[in-house]
Structure 1
Amino acid sequence: MTETKRGGIPLHWLMLIGFVVGLAGGLAANFYVDPEAAWLTTLVAVAGTIGQLFLKLLFMMVIPLLFSALVIGVAEMGDLKSLGRAGIKTLLLTIVVSGIAVVIGLGMVNFFRPGDGVAPEVAAKLMQQGAEGAAAIVDKAPASVQFDQFFLDLVPSNVFTAASENQILPVMIFALFFGIGLVMAQSKATDQLQRTIEGLLEVTMKLINLFIKLAPLAIACLMFKLAAVFGWDLLVRLAAYVAVAVGAMLIHMFVVYPLVVWIGGGMSPFRFFKGVREPMVVAFSTASSNAALPVSLKAAETELGLPRKIARFVLTVGATANQNGTALFEGVTVLFLAQFFHIDLTIGQQVLVMLVCILGGVGTAGVPAGSLPVVAMILVMVGVPAEGIGLILGVDRFLDMCRTTLNVTGDLVLATVVSRGESDDSVAADAEEPEPVGA
């Protein structure tokens, strides 16, 4: 993710300052001020309104962001014809490995339950203050899972109706098929359409960059409101959340990735991690997949000895579409906040979260805090107060560094597996194979 500065100070430092100021002010109000004081009630309401405006700006960009990013992420696999089986393996492995990441995250949160421990009456108080729509969404959630209807609902009969009703998963399914259609129907007209959608993505990312500049103020307001209501319990829950999120990422990094490299790629995990040290360091220090891409390409060719065309294709596409760490982070965050607000998600709702996180990992834009719109929308989908996102914004920089490292390493894992049995010569042969007469 790119780094944004304001007044010479990096954005993540401004966000951290806003987090600390809001947290300190809220804790002081919780400890020293009568919670029924009129001026405090008014101040909390104003802070909540400012935070809600910030969230609404993010919500406004969710549909265009996910549609354009997911379509382009799939359409960039336009090399499917020339790379043949390499493109298919890339797509399937992206879905499978991202799914494993999300399952690990959800399993960790369900086992350790880092969001538990806050008094139910206090959580209910905050929900009443700023999330009137959450209860209605929870009430609509089915008590049991009807899988036949669940899968039928994935395919929208009218994508515009689905978008207007914030049915994110059907919109993402439509975007997925739309991207596949662009890959299959290659012509001058579709090339122009793809460039138009790329333009939509660029505009959307530019606007999100603009809105994210408001994040320091929004974080201060959201944290003040949360800290004034929850007090010191907030710090304990936040520390538990970070520990679980990082723990899940470590399991995926040092258990899942070595197994995938060893079994799927036929390479020693020790050789692999020795060869990708530099990209991992760059990814962690910059929290930027784009910044790590040149280093990853070099490591793939010189350290891992992967075919250049395969490595370039997989790593370039993977920088956008294969974001295991982002998918894991989104799942952990949603379930943590659900526990924090004493909202029990059904198995069906957790499956929904998992599917959206997998597709969201493909459709998350590479901008500062690019996953925040997706997280906020998933929260609304499952009936969790969206202002709870303020809890994690202050520690998001560190978690961003961790999940970016996981993303970049995952791209190299993917390239290693896809490269097995491939060479630049075989890829060139596939690309130059003539089409049958009459095709």
Structure 2
Amino acid sequence: MTSDASDSSGKKAALSLQWQMLAGFLTGLILGLAVYMTAPEARWVDIVTTYVTGPIGQVFLRLLFMLVIPLLVSALIVGIAEMGEMRSLRRIGVRTLLYTLVVSGIAVVISLLLVNLLRPGGGVDPAQAQAMLADAGSGAKAILARSGDTPSGMQALIAIIPDNIIGAMADNDILAVMVFALFFGIGLVLVQTEQSKILLTAMEGLFEVTMRLIGIVIRLAPIAIACFMFNLAAQFGWDLLIRLSAYVGVVLLALVIQMFVIYPLLIAFLAKRSPLRFFAAVQEASVMAFTASSNATLPTAIRVAEDKLRLPRRISRFVLTIGATANQNGTAMFEGITVLFLAQFFGVDLSLTQQFMVMLVCILGGVGTAGVPAGSLPVVAMILGMVGVPPEGIGLVLGVDRFLDMCRTALNVTGDLVAATVIAAGEEDERGRIAT
């Protein structure tokens, strides 16, 4: 009874926070537009943005940056290591990992192609973009200064492997840190000792503590969003709304292609099943995902996999449990589109090498991002800083993130069921029958 009450209160709190974020978005937008129309050059506007709204937004971002490294390291290590907890499922774990990386890669490539072709953030006045870059806070400027020294070409590929993991963390070299976490997780899969299990437990504890702290920081999001949107709307005016609607359209288009083109092809050619029957069977879990997180939808997804898709229990539970954290195609697509959209908006020209790095981080971020509302926010903020885009730009998308989060979570949950169906193809169930 107590557990049910706490779950209910947690959902109400999350819903309340989402409405607060929307309210903050609208408040900042309306006030910023009012300033843009009535007093765009007023001295007091500069004072407010320099000493009030700007610092508040920077505090919020710095709190996220402070926690993103331990979050990603612990989540990625635990996600990889859990694949080898049961020796009998080690082969399934390897197949799950390879499938996740390949399909997430396809999702991110689709996203980057769409955002480069349609350019939802393009066309902003270069003078305004430069002004916004000049007004970036000290924390963002420090990140931008580091990004100017980012290696390119072959050196960029070599730099993915860190020679000093502590230095990589200190420099916020997120890709190098995630590669280290990936290898460390594989090491925990290979080493099955009592000591390694203790180390894995410690990583799980680090993940839980970091998630709790990020949950506290996220409660400041409504105020930060209002500050971000005030600064952006006062700077860009009505052009902000036009670009924002184009951004939402590109995200939805990418999610639709992955859901109704890529997934049916995987089901038809790899799982040898009818895509129509598959979508009919999983509709309950997909609809449930619109009102919850990937983790919260996990019990429904497991029941659908076992009762309606008739997947072997040992495979469905393993793949879906891992997938709730690791196989998040919708999250990876959202992160990639958001980073490139904001780069276009602020006039930051990303080279092919930088876009390739963004793609790698999004693929690994899909593995390391927690399956909870706003779980991708720290990753997006860090990638923005890594490629030289003002992290304050996340304020642009947070106001519409609730709707996009519902859509990408539905894709994440459906993608987990696709993964379980593909990986279960040809495997024996508990009664010795081959799954078809």
Aligned position for 1:401? 406
Alignment check: 8 A CA contact 1:2 1:366 kept? no
Give the counterpart of 1:362 among 364, 367, 370.
367
The alignment status of 1:304 with 2:304, answered yes or no, reads no
| Secondary structure of residue in 2 paired with 1:265 | coil
Q: Structure 1 residues 111, 7: closer, same or farther in 2, change over 3 A?
A: closer
Aligned position for 1:281? 287
Give the counterpart of 1:314 among 316, 319, 322.
319
Structure 2: gaps spanning 5 or more residues: 1-6
The alignment status of 1:136 with 2:145, answered yes or no, reads yes
Q: Partner letter of residue 105 of structure 2?
A: G
Alignment check: 8 A CA contact 1:67 1:172 kept? yes
Q: Partner letter of residue 149 of structure 2?
A: K
Aligned position for 1:372? 377
Give the counterpart of 2:420 among 415, 419, 422.
415
Alignment check: 8 A CA contact 2:115 2:341 kept? yes
Q: Partner letter of residue 51 of structure 1?
A: G
Alignment check: 8 A CA contact 1:80 1:86 kept? no
Q: Partner letter of residue 73 of structure 2?
A: F
Q: Partner letter of residue 332 of structure 2?
A: A
Structure 1: gaps spanning 5 or more residues: 429-439
Whole-Å Cα distance in 1 between the matches of residues 23 and 322 of structure 2? 35
The alignment status of 1:272 with 2:278, answered yes or no, reads yes
**Deviation digits for residues 61-81 of structure 1, max 9, x if unmatched?**
111011000000101102462
Give the counterpart of 1:77 among 72, 79, 83.
83
Alignment check: 8 A CA contact 1:326 1:361 kept? yes
Whole-Å Cα distance in 2 between the matches of residues 23 and 199 of structure 1? 39
Identity over aligned pairs, percent = 59
**Deviation digits for residues 152-183 of structure 1, max 9, x if unmatched?**
21211110011111111111111111111111
Q: Partner letter of residue 44 of structure 1?
A: T
RMSD: 1.9
Report 1:63-212 matches (<5 A). Answer: 63-79=69-85, 81-130=87-136, 131-133=140-142, 135-137=144-146, 139-141=148-150, 145-147=152-154, 149-212=155-218
Shift in Å, 1:265: 0.8
**Deviation digits for residues 123-165 of structure 1, max 9, x if unmatched?**
11111011434653453345xx523x33321211110011111
Whole-Å Cα distance in 2 between the matches of residues 426 and 181 of structure 1? 33
Aligned position for 1:294? 299
Whole-Å Cα distance in 1 between the matches of residues 279 and 200 of structure 2? 36
Q: Structure 1 residues 8, 196: closer, same or farther in 2, change over 3 A?
A: closer
**Deviation digits for residues 224-254 of structure 1, max 9, x if unmatched?**
0100000000000000000000100000000
Whole-Å Cα distance in 1 between the matches of residues 74 and 168 of structure 2? 16
The alignment status of 1:225 with 2:234, answered yes or no, reads no
Q: Partner letter of residue 175 of structure 1?
A: A
Shift in Å, 1:4: 5.4
Whole-Å Cα distance in 1 between the matches of residues 275 and 35 of structure 2? 52
Whole-Å Cα distance in 2 between the matches of residues 81 and 308 of structure 1? 16
Whole-Å Cα distance in 2 between the matches of residues 419 and 9 of structure 1? 36
Report 1:1-12 matches (<5 A). Answer: 10-12=16-18
Whole-Å Cα distance in 2 between the matches of residues 173 and 2 of structure 1? 38
Alignment check: 8 A CA contact 1:309 1:427 kept? no
Alignment check: 8 A CA contact 1:72 1:179 kept? yes
Alignment check: 8 A CA contact 1:337 1:388 kept? yes
Whole-Å Cα distance in 1 between the matches of residues 394 and 425 of structure 2? 41
Alignment check: 8 A CA contact 2:114 2:250 kept? yes
The alignment status of 1:341 with 2:346, answered yes or no, reads yes
Whole-Å Cα distance in 2 between the matches of residues 312 and 6 of structure 1? 28
**Deviation digits for residues 89-145 of structure 1, max 9, x if unmatched?**
101000000000000111110000000121110111111011434653453345xx5
Alignment check: 8 A CA contact 1:19 1:216 kept? yes
Whole-Å Cα distance in 2 between the matches of residues 172 and 296 of structure 1? 28
Aligned length: 423
Shift in Å, 1:37: 1.5
Relative to structure 2, which stretch is displaced further, 291-300 or 386-395? 291-300
**Deviation digits for residues 196-216 of structure 1, max 9, x if unmatched?**
110000000000000000000
Whole-Å Cα distance in 1 between the matches of residues 384 and 9 of structure 2? 26
**TM-score normalised by the chain length of structure 1:** 0.93
Relative to structure 2, which stretch is displaced further, 419-428 or 74-83? 419-428
| Secondary structure of residue in 2 paired with 1:125 | helix
The alignment status of 1:44 with 2:49, answered yes or no, reads yes
Alignment check: 8 A CA contact 1:48 1:222 kept? yes
| Secondary structure of residue in 1 paired with 2:148 | helix
Whole-Å Cα distance in 2 between the matches of residues 132 and 80 of structure 1? 47
Shift in Å, 1:425: 4.3
Q: Structure 1 residues 388, 289: closer, same or farther in 2, change over 3 A?
A: same
